[in-house]
Structure 1
Amino acid sequence: MVKIRLVMGVIWLFVFQGCSATSEPKQLGNIEQYFYDEHFEFIHDLPAAENLLFLPDTARKEIKNQFRRDTALSSNRILAHEWLASYIDAENGGFEYRDNTTRTAGETYSDRAGNCMSLVLLTAAIADEIGVDVEFQDIEVPPVWDKQGNFYLINGHVNLKLLPRTTTDTVFVSRRAIQVDFLPERAVRAYSKIKVDKQTVLAMYYNNVAAESLVIGEYDRAYGLLKLGIAQKPDYVPALNTLAVLYRYKGLDQQAEILYKLALDVSANNMNALYNYAILLGSQGRLEEWAEIHKVLELDRIGNPYYYYDMAQQAYFDREYQDALLWYKRAVDKADYRHEFYFGLSRAYWATGDERRAKKNMQKALSLTRDENSKIRYQAKLHAMKSH
């Protein structure tokens, strides 16, 4: 029962580009035929592509003045790309990394903070202002899993290189590129890097903000954002997949199936689209077709930490606490950065009478969470445990 519910239930999987993945290049003709405007309200205040990297005049003036001051006061000649790498450095306080809402370059500059995608856009915008070239890179890191409401979200990663811009009257002794990464622990050299163009990065942005809107039920806004993203890069599979998920939420199963097939035509081994398509087939009782896809998905499923987490939750609520501990531990083995896994371990240990391990795992959950509500909840639980 649990396995079937997990594969065929109400939880849809789709990629959220905290920063992230690319599709195989393929030309798609007449992408407009896959849009169904009659089912959605038009949203007026969506960010236009040309505004994603836009900086207001005050910001541009501040940046250029800071650049002139810093380079003039330096005893050694500082190249523009070297200055920018130092200026934008999130790790040392230039701008704060916050893994939550995706912002435009202008919004990120104003807030002095943003997630990975937001900071990449801001860096590119500043680079353009001071004459620095950029190269965007998709980093093929292992996926980082998250869960919000009825959605599994997979965070990939993107960073960028800064290069001095060559001009006719300037000769550089060295054109050494500087890699800028806002999650340095994931910018390991052993990971493969794929150079991506600006259109792909803009499509990533729109998929991010569309996912954020979808999670909170703003379907019309999500639809408008996805249209803008797909206009930038029609073969961008994560956006096609997210749009198909949105169609399912609107009850447009036939339209969703067309999009899943389109996404799989572009990238046949895209597990996110394949998984979602399998859910649709299962919900319609098309079990023979579902079984064929399920064979492929079974091999991929074992890498999903939430598979083990859902099994642990089921065991816990069935009061099978030893089984719950086993499943929670497996979830932690797959994703030791998820606070809710340690919270689950804590509850299960408490239920078995192991108070020491229960407190230890509650402390770990508290240290990992960035959500204020979870933090308050874990603090209260930990206080109650210590007072027991």
Structure 2
Amino acid sequence: MIKADSLDAIKGLVRLALQRERECAEHGSPLTTTASPELTAQLLAVPDSALLAAIQRHRLESLLHGDPLVGALLPTLGDKLKALARAETMAALALASLTREMATLFERAGIPMLVIKGIPLSLQTTGSLTARGRGDLDLLVDPRQVPQALNLLQSAGFNLTYGASLVGANSLQGRYSRFISIEISLVRSRGQRQWIDLHWHPSHARGVLPAFRELFRNRDHVAINGVSASTLALEAAFVHACCHAAVDCWMCIRNLVDVHRLSRRLEHKTLSTQRKYRLVRKTCAVAIDCVPDPRFLTLLASKTSSKECRALSSARKAQMLPWRSLGTGEWTVHNRTRYLLRLMNLSLHPVHLTSMLMQHAIPPESLVDMQTGQPLSAMAVVLGRIEKLARRIRGNDAQLTQQSDH
């Protein structure tokens, strides 16, 4: 858990670093050369270990290490922050190498593909391969070409991370799996593990971004050490970054930094048109609390809505929890239902609502025998889901009985 004072302190550091970054871009050098008394007091009140833990939790090593004023404010953390930033740089370089390999592989195979987030996003927002730090490789393909893309990746030595799946099958189960889910994870071991998330829908928030064909038609190109890689155009990348942050309940400040940096690349008129998206408005309401940017005000109502207030409250709680935590407490019907309702509220598009309900009722992994890799019958799938739900409920009932006995 990250304490509130640690979270507020690193938010202050992020504001300072991004303000100086913005001034440098506009004026050639930063105009702000001192920290506010409030930020100085916040930093003095938080132990170094807590500050460092918060910086790592929110993946801010690369951003904060690169600013000399931030370094002066954290003199006792300088060496540790430098070492962490160096590790982020090396991981980003490894990711750049893998991205080049995959761009070339898909190009030669004739399979249209977009690289989302990762190295292309770093180049779009900072002009640097390494300034954003580490990440997985996310590839987006046409849903109809998932089988070919999976075969291509497996021919390059990648294996499914979580065992057998019917996602790549040209069957009813395969089409169902591709409809209700958006990605599948693969891994390859070559000295170190390399991870790829193969997407066929760009976001868990369905119905917000266009279909693959339109995204590919309007794509941008970035050069990665002489190799051209296709990625989302800036406008789509901004909407995608807002959706990605919202899906994770705005739990990571680095994602909000991405939103801020992308917004600076868009013309004011283009940015204003993004107000039509609920997740853009909510994400900008959260981002402006952490990354003040007057341009975000054009995306918000004149008065903060109750939905935006709830988003701010949810974000703050998520930002203090461990990485990708669903919240406190064990699995219960109440907690799971609350989680499902939050996911459904991401988008009001009928496809999104339908896919979320179906995904939680009968997820893709329940369609296949994990030991043999063979499809299960409809009856076996239904019985398996009922049995798993019964085990969950019995387990919690037993746990509650033990607690009451004490």
Query: Could you tell me the TM-score, scaled by structure 1's length?
Result: 0.30
Query: Could you tell me the TM-score, scaled by structure 2's length?
Result: 0.29
Please state which structure has a larger fraction of its residues in helix: 2
